[in-house]
Amino acid sequence: MKANQVQRPALIPAERIEGAILLIRGQKVMLDRDLAALYGVETKSLTRAVRRNRERFPADFMFELSREEFDDLRRQFGTSSQWGGRRYRPYAFTEQGVAMLSSVLRSKRAVQVNVEIMRAFVRMRQILAANADLARRLDTLEQKYDAQFKVVFDAIRQLMASSADDVARRRRRIGFHVQAES
């Protein structure tokens, strides 16, 4: 950012967006109802626009949750009242699907919200990459210190063994001693 530019506050807090990103089928996705709330439209309006433009949303951009996935989500969130009386299972949008939504919804707010959502996805990728890097470093340290501690433990065992031999040699035998003839 240039010095003379003023950074505007985010339209939607990043925490709200990041809290709406879920892991389903091994993908980070956002559900249609959460996106509709962020865009300021009704869920049925969002899904209607998506159905009218179905060719823009291939399977890797959007998928409909299975009955089991939907039931699991309801149990996970603990209440079905927030899901209302939905007749249809929700749609889950991947990052690419969310990006496509701004062109389908065609509103200024949709574009602004999409920018914030894309930033949240980027932040999440950076956090995951940083965590992966940290995990690799921990593995390296663990291997390094395991090897170093093995050396320490081996040295302690040698010291213990040699001191036991020394004690045995220094111990005077009690009783009558016969010297071996040479």
- 141 occurs within a structural domain: no
- 94 occurs within a structural domain: yes
- 60 occurs within a structural domain: yes
Q: How many helices (H) and strands (E) does the chain have?
A: 6, 4
CATH number at residue 127: 3.10.260
The domain total for the chain is 1
Cα–chain center distance at 51: 31
Give CA–CA dist 99/115, Å, rounded.
9
Half-sphere exposure of 175 (CA within 13 A, CB side): 2
> What number of other Cβ atoms are within 10 A of residue 16's Cβ?
14
**pLDDT score, position 164:** 55
- 2 occurs within a structural domain: no
Q: What is the pLDDT of residues 11-32, one digit of tens each?
A: 677 788 888 888 899 888 999 9
Domain that holds residue 37: 14-134
- 159 occurs within a structural domain: no
Q: What is the pLDDT of residues 62-100, one digit of tens each?
A: 999 999 998 888 887 765 555 555 678 899 999 899 888
- Residue 24 corresponds to which amino acid? I
Give CA–CA dist 8/170, Å, rounded.
82
Q: What is the pLDDT of residues 110-160, one digit of tens each?
A: 878 888 888 888 888 888 777 777 777 777 777 777 766 777 767 777 776
